[in-house]
Chains A and B, each alone.
Chain A
């Protein structure tokens, strides 16, 4: 996590947004792909649309690009309406560019011709085009392949051509549709940083669609987590992980334990133990009634003997199951007299045996109420 906790760009609420999606809905026949979606993207911001397949993220991206017309709602680009249910500005007039899942590098043109395509359409003179093509190919380290045909390039190189072709035209918005899903794991990791590097170098407004949370977390200023055609939460990666607002976000971003509890004014009762309500961050919890808390495996500590409670809560329990993953232990523990089972991550040196009696230390500030 090398980004700040909150993005300063996102906070500049007073400025004109680059893109504004206002109650966008998209229906295909009887299937609602996107429902009442709101999204505001500031100039220079890098936003990811993250979600499982079929969540509507690609449909949203294609509506921004102009390939699909929304069923309801409007899209504004720098304050100008470009999409509505009535009409839609054709993609070629939006001054955007896009990187496709298949790269869509034209096999009938050389790398140079591919990259120059958008520049020709923008009526630059020959010398300028040659210069810009050279410059951008240098940036993606492909200058030596300028006269090759795409079929002679590896997947990673084709991906870089797609990047070069998209950024050379200086788009108002850069759209990426799962651009790394066809690459092997190592290359994928490398390209994430490459994409972020290019964004920082050129400061494009970027919308990135992916189903891979680490991709989104490495690249984005803010992530919009989508589920069933709706945005569940938009936040910076750090906040998304530490303060998930919904059950879906909590379990989609990283792993988590979802624990049910009941507030009765002074205490919160869980199955087998209670915690005083006062030690929780007050505003998040209801006064009374049922609540669901997300507890990250890393936030729970396991002790062999009873520790000092302090601001935390200590519960006696039993080690149920364990798995050694190399970088960490994956433990499953159960508080005494409780049907709750918690997954806990521990460093390799903290070894416990199955069946051992242990003490669990729970940090109330890391137990996040979700809906």
Chain B
């Protein structure tokens, strides 16, 4: 009786939120795992799906290629990122602002768009670079983007910012006193870099590298536009092919499981690395640091940064811009070739208007659903309202280890068939996106809640406010910035998400990323480039809004 009187109505909300998590995270992944061990027709336990998935030489090659691809991208990203982060954090190199801004540009460029820019630059025959090479009489092609080297380079150009963010952050926090201590004992500045500075930031480099590796092996767009024409099999492409007729979902599931296992293992390693004591000692005071004078190396160092910036942003975007404003990109720069028709086409045709509308409404909806769910769960966990808080955190963070394409397969398997029959609806896309980006929203909401003194809320309750009132009147207003930031951080990747979308869209629910891929297959690079610029323009606008509201670091932040 008294128990009933004291029941909090808001408890219902927590129960519902938990059920939604089960629906979004547990069901698709469980289905995937179970079906990988099941015979298609009879449903009995079997390992034959695994045998089937890995016995074929081409499929095995896809697996091996993906690993080579991942390692290669990590390697190239480190070569790009570490010198740049050191130069920006620690030296008197000129043009730091420009380099930083360009790295941000690379960060917000959808990798597949950059890859398409590179097709225009380094396609074997028509690419700018190879044409220029031929014009000066060079033999053969200088650089063919349709190759493993091309794939690795083009991917690294858009993933090195992760390593940059981690390393620059760590360098900012290494106390210069540690370096000065070595200096006063007689060590020269060059040796200090290798003996003191780099070892101290090694955990950060490693952590960034793991993210890059995981991101790379899960990538679908860049391989789709580059590896496919190069006849290079890659795991994600192979997964895609399992769904061409005849559909072999069970084999796909079995093929995906090792990918998830690799990810789980890597995330475990990363936690271990970041959790080590040595890394904690980095949290020194940041003030009063002495910049390393580069002397005559100032301009060569800047040249290196500029080269990376050119490869990642200036060159491919120049090529895309040329395509976007021309009738046929192969005709080069001329007034007859100039047109605005490509942009006009985007907005005059009902179908492409629909696609643009879809993309932004789905992304916005995803932002709202993901942030609402993340806030509720983070609140329940943070305030210890349920004894199984760890489980809820694990559920919210779990999508981090599931590559988008694998998640989409799980979603497809569970929610496409009746009774739910969500396939073809906008809902399945929004739910898929929500699941995929839930970890971002959750980590942000959690960080916000942790910074909030619980007494703020207790003050509201003791004055007669229920938990719901306290959350609405106190917690949400105080977390406004965190919530807007989380929404932006979900909206931006959702607006360009490809790997989840490719499985879940139908003719009516297509989105920009899928349209770009289709245009690339048709070779319609002019409209594609126009669409890419439009997407990027919207992103830049949103990033700027974010800067205004939340400060300069909200995107290029280590989280």
Contact = CB atoms under 8 A, between A and B. Distances in A.
A106 B470 CA distance: 11
Nearest to B4: A87
Nearest to A162: B459
A64 B3 CA distance: 18
A117 B460 contact: yes
Contacts of A104: 453, 455-456, 458-459
A122 B458 contact: no
A81 B8 CA distance: 18
Interface string B437-459: 00000000000000001011011
Interface string B450-478: 00010110111111111101000110011
Interface stretch (A92-100, A131-139, A325-333, A339-347): A92-100
Nearest to B480: A108
A88 to B, nearest CB: 6
A117 B455 CA distance: 15
A118 interface: yes
B334 interface: no
A67 B458 contact: yes
Given A100-B455, A102-B453, A104-B453, A81 B465 contact: no
A92 B5 CA distance: 13
Given A81-B2, A101-B455, A106-B456, A91 B462 contact: yes
Nearest to B466: A92
B463 A97 contact: yes
A92 B453 contact: no
B56 interface: no
A313 to B, nearest CB: 53
B462 A92 contact: yes
Interface in B1-33: 2-3, 5-6, 8
Interface in A87-130: 87-98, 100-102, 104, 106-108, 117-118, 121-122
A47 B462 CA distance: 19
B6 A87 contact: yes
B interface secondary structure, majority: helix
A98 B477 contact: no
A87 B3 contact: yes
A234 B47 CA distance: 73
A175 interface: yes
A87 B463 contact: no
B455 A165 contact: no
A94 B459 CA distance: 13
B456 A175 contact: no
Contact of A108 (B455, B459, B477): B477
A86 interface: yes
Contacts of A95: 464
Contacts of B455: 100-102, 104
B463 A117 contact: yes
Interface in A277-323: none
A118 B463 CA distance: 5
Contact of A92 (B3, B465, B473): B465
B461 A90 contact: yes
Given A87-B6, A88-B6, A106-B474, A100 B458 contact: yes
Contacts of B460: 106, 117
A91 B458 contact: yes
Nearest to A86: B3
A176 B2 CA distance: 28
A106 B475 CA distance: 10
Nearest to B457: A104
Contacts of A102: 453, 455
Nearest to B463: A118
Nearest to B474: A106
Given A102-B455, A106-B478, A96 B462 contact: yes
A236 interface: no
A91 B455 CA distance: 13
A159 to B, nearest CB: 13
Given A87-B2, A90-B6, A108-B477, A118 B456 contact: no
Nearest to A81: B2
Contact of B469 (A93, A97, A121, A122): A121
A272 B76 CA distance: 86
A100 B459 contact: yes
B494 to A, nearest CB: 29
B518 to A, nearest CB: 47
B432 to A, nearest CB: 35
Contacts of A169: 463-464
Interface in B465-504: 465-467, 469, 473-474, 477-478, 480
B453 A108 contact: no
A88 B7 CA distance: 9
A318 B524 CA distance: 106
A98 B460 CA distance: 10
Contact of B463 (A86, A88, A165): A165
A90 to B, nearest CB: 6
B47 to A, nearest CB: 44
Contacts of A88: 6
A117 B464 CA distance: 9
A118 B3 contact: no
Interface string B497-530: 0000000000000000000000000000000000
23 contacts: A65-B458, A67-B458, A67-B461, A86-B2, A89-B5, A89-B6, A90-B6, A91-B458, A91-B462, A92-B464, A96-B462, A97-B462, A100-B458, A102-B453, A104-B455, A106-B460, A106-B474, A106-B478, A108-B477, A118-B463, A121-B465, A165-B459, A166-B463
The 4 closest A-B pairs by CB, nearest first: A118-B463, A104-B459, A104-B455, A121-B464
Interface of A: 65-67, 81, 86-98, 100-102, 104, 106-108, 117-118, 121-122, 165-166, 169, 175
